[in-house]
Structure 1
């Protein structure tokens, strides 16, 4: 073999090794490193009593293939250890379609979540794809059900109104119905799995919408961002976004959807601190 041929072969081998290492990293390493990320969220009509109110946001666990019960249990324990004021869960707790097995395994783990002002949950499209009836059963049994209804957290005479939407793809949103009966000046926060929900018609004034579904794209290329997002509005990737209607927060979530990879987009337990704008 000539020197040129040997150099070419070595280059190919090096490229192959680099590709193998990169592939292993995205599947075996980053996908399994769950960060705790903290966000400060200024809300114009936040009551003073709720300044510095903390919310742990969990979404898109995708329990099942490559996401074990031990992994999910550790996420639950870490979330509880943060001692947030409330915990919000925005769907896609299971991964597989047309089976109740994963639903029956993940919900007892979700029911271990605890927060001083409660745990509030809605469903995502994967929960419906697995089994709608069984997912609704556990949602209600858990005591976390916020779908198509609202609940009020009170601190003295001040209120925070929490409402839950149905999944955009597999249910009815019913955002206005969820907040029916709330007071005119309430600071309202909506849990809705799919962030495209913000762009649908509704009349209720919302201070904040909390969503998942996108996984942050799972792969974020430098200087480009995520090449794939399962939403119509490609601005809806992750983090805090100001929309024409409301503030929108999208968590990168825990599990995986189309491909079991993560690159430059670690899974996260998002901790939101609600603040009054003057203190932001």
Structure 2
């Protein structure tokens, strides 16, 4: 697997340009054998640590590999992720595939295996939760959205029928100051609803379409089609960055897209 590092230096109006922050984001591991095995995950983590992040964000879909693969026990991929390290910590959300095999009744009784495995290696999982983080004598908020497609049919292309556990209003209600906010949301579909005081939204899920032909992405798992398929999107001064992720979904093939780690430099030191 060829791994790319993609750099962004956005200037969102809601982020103070004299407050520098380096975010490293990893999305859509889909850990499995042979395609994204523990050795691959360990290499992703080594590369991520080498990028000298202030904070590392994990954007969901840790398991549920593609066709022609064997799923790993969550303890194996979580152990590899446990090697990640950053001064402001490693923070996670869950993706739709982290709810595979679960019902609402199941999660009412306790966390998913993915959440349990991450917590066991010291990585907090933020489900509709916002936390205030100190950085360089100042503060910002990190909000994690519950998954929007958690119980939607996994093999349907009717992405307008969402059945999730997301509560954007509830998560942002926990932000009690006017300090800047970074939002983690596995699927980018929430972006039209994100208010302007959120400086940056980070998402995965789409795999960049996974297959891109002649500049077009034939299949994007989003009700907005290719609108939020990949990259840095700005709408009405609101900023979204969508990663193409690391692993595979469906068939273990990428064409015209890349497996990537995303680096986001916010503030004057990273601005270009």
Residues in 2 aligned to 1:180 and 1:267: alpha-carbon distance in whole angstroms: 34
Map 1:84-233 onto structure 2 (within 5 A): 84-96=53-65, 101-129=72-100, 133-141=112-120, 142-170=122-150, 171-200=164-193, 205-222=197-214, 224-233=215-224
Q: Say yes or no: does 1:271 pair with 2:263.
A: yes
Which residue number corresponds to residue 155 of structure 2? none
Aligned length: 245
Residues in 2 aligned to 1:56 and 1:279: alpha-carbon distance in whole angstroms: 16
1:6-47 residue CA offsets vs partner (Å, 9 max, x unmatched): xxxxxxxxxxxxxxxxxxxxxxxxxx1010111111121223
Give the TM-score normalised by structure 1.
Answer: 0.80
CA distance change for structure 1 residues 279 and 133 in 2, over 3 Å: closer, same or farther? closer
Residues in 2 aligned to 1:169 and 1:114: alpha-carbon distance in whole angstroms: 29
Query: What root-mean-square deviation, in Å, do the aligned CA atoms of Structure 1 and Structure 2 show?
Result: 2.5
**Contact map agreement 2:32 2:71 (CA 8 A) in 1:** no
CA drift of 1:218 comes to 1.1
Residues in 1 aligned to 2:37 and 2:250: alpha-carbon distance in whole angstroms: 17
Give the TM-score normalised by structure 2.
Answer: 0.82
**Contact map agreement 1:96 1:102 (CA 8 A) in 2:** no
CA distance change for structure 1 residues 130 and 59 in 2, over 3 Å: closer, same or farther? farther
Which residue number corresponds to residue 158 of structure 2? none
CA drift of 1:156 comes to 4.6
CA drift of 1:157 comes to 4.6
CA distance change for structure 1 residues 70 and 156 in 2, over 3 Å: closer, same or farther? closer
CA distance change for structure 1 residues 232 and 268 in 2, over 3 Å: closer, same or farther? same
CA distance change for structure 1 residues 80 and 157 in 2, over 3 Å: closer, same or farther? closer
Name which one, 1 or 2, has greater alpha-carbon Rg. Answer: 1
1:61-92 residue CA offsets vs partner (Å, 9 max, x unmatched): 00014221111111111111111111111000
**Contact map agreement 1:46 1:276 (CA 8 A) in 2:** no
**Contact map agreement 1:238 1:251 (CA 8 A) in 2:** yes
Higher helix share: 1
Which residue number corresponds to residue 23 of structure 2? 55
Task: List alignment gaps of at least 5 residues for structure 2.
Answer: 103-110, 151-163
CA drift of 1:145 comes to 1.8
CA drift of 1:96 comes to 4.8
Residues in 1 aligned to 2:135 and 2:41: alpha-carbon distance in whole angstroms: 32
Residues in 1 aligned to 2:210 and 2:24: alpha-carbon distance in whole angstroms: 20
Residues in 2 aligned to 1:165 and 1:104: alpha-carbon distance in whole angstroms: 23
Which residue number corresponds to residue 32 of structure 2? 64
CA distance change for structure 1 residues 218 and 149 in 2, over 3 Å: closer, same or farther? same
